């Protein structure tokens, strides 16, 4: 028992903070004063195992103090007022835009992180579904500035952005941004964009020039040198154009009638706005 106590004291002295050490010794001091007040001899205490257990119980009852170092948080939540990042991917349902018509309605947007102005600080780019994409420049000390308005990244019409990737597509030492698009929009509005860095915090879309302005309901893209020729290749993930069948309502209860009539919608992503109602009659 004495060896365990000594081992514990060594661990305590070397592993805990000064404030925690002070608190523990204060507890020991109080216990010592109580024993002196009760006039209990020290040698009598050391001969009683129950006293040892009581002493250890008092010390270990301060476990939150002894383990303060273990309980330190790895992350701290910073407010938007501190960081300057107030992006919010707000979604609003309507008769045209909802989970019924578009099964990936709540799949969310994307985010890319990289140093787009080569100042040694990591910048952040967010994509939005029903809101504008946003680019935040890192000013240091976890403070960011929204430069979307002046960067050329603003969309003039409605777009449904999904994933984004920061990549140096032309190998000039400056990160570019590839943005994927999807949603219930016209084909031309679904074309992915490649925002090429102009080295002055502005960007120009050159996706068509690089032949990667795909319009296939994209999710995200990954760039790598597939054929080992020194140039970046791209793997693009698209959503499949499979049919979506959604149960709308049961007009008759199966347990109460011999016929159940079910209405449902059958559609594909290329004909989402042309709904075909079908009716199925099930005879028991």
Evaluate the CA torsion angle 250, 252, 256, 260 in order and state its sign: negative
> What pLDDT does residue 120 have?
97
> What pLDDT does residue 261 have?
44
Average pLDDT, the chain: 75
**φ/ψ of residue 20, rounded to 5:** -65, -40
Percent helix / strand / coil, the chain, rounded to 5: 25, 30, 50
User: Is 80 exceeded by the pLDDT of residue 256?
Assistant: no
User: Is 70 exceeded by the pLDDT of residue 223?
Assistant: yes
Per the CB < 8 A criterion, the answer to whether 194 and 206 are in contact is yes
Name the nearest CA neighbour of 187 among 215, 212, 208.
215
Which carries the bigger pLDDT value, residue 24 or residue 162? 162
- Residue range 69-97, pLDDT digits in tens: 556 788 999 999 999 999 999 999 988 78
pTM: 0.64
Mean pLDDT over residues 125-140, rounded? 96
Which carries the bigger pLDDT value, residue 58 or residue 265? 58
Name the nearest CA neighbour of 128 among 158, 171, 169, 165.
158
> What pLDDT does residue 114 have?
98
Q: What are the helix and strand counts (H, E) for the chain?
A: 7, 13
């Amino acid at each position: 028992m004495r060896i365990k106590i000594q081992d514990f004291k060594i661990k305590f002295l070397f592993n805990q903070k000064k404030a925690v050490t002070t608190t523990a010794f204060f507890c020991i001091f109080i216990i010592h004063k109580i024993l002196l007040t009760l006039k209990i001899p020290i040698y009598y205490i050391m001969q009683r195992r129950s006293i040892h257990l009581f002493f250890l119980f008092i010390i270990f009852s301060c476990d939150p103090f002894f383990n303060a170092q273990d309980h330190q948080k790895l992350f701290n939540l910073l407010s938007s007022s501190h960081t300057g990042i107030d992006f919010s991917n707000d979604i609003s349902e309507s008769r045209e835009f909802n989970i019924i018509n578009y099964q990936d309605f709540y799949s969310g947007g994307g985010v890319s992180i990289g140093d787009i102005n080569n100042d040694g600080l990591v910048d952040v780019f967010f994509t939005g579904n029903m809101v504008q994409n946003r680019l935040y420049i890192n000013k240091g000390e976890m403070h960011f500035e929204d430069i979307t308005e002046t960067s050329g990244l603003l969309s003039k019409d409605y777009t449904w952005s999904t994933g984004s990737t920061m990549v140096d597509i032309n190998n000039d030492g400056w990160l570019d941004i590839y943005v994927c698009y999807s949603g219930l929009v016209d084909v031309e509005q679904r074309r992915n964009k490649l925002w090429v860095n102009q080295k002055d915090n502005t960007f120009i879309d050159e996706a068509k020039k690089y032949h990667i302005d795909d319009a296939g309901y994209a999710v995200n893209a990954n760039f790598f040198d597939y054929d080992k020729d020194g140039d970046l290749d791209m793997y693009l993930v698209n959503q499949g154009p499979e049919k979506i069948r959604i149960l709308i309502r049961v007009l008759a209860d199966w347990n109460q009638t011999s016929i159940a009539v079910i209405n449902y919608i059958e559609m594909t992503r290329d004909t989402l706005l042309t709904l075909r109602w079908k009716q199925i009659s099930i005879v028991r």
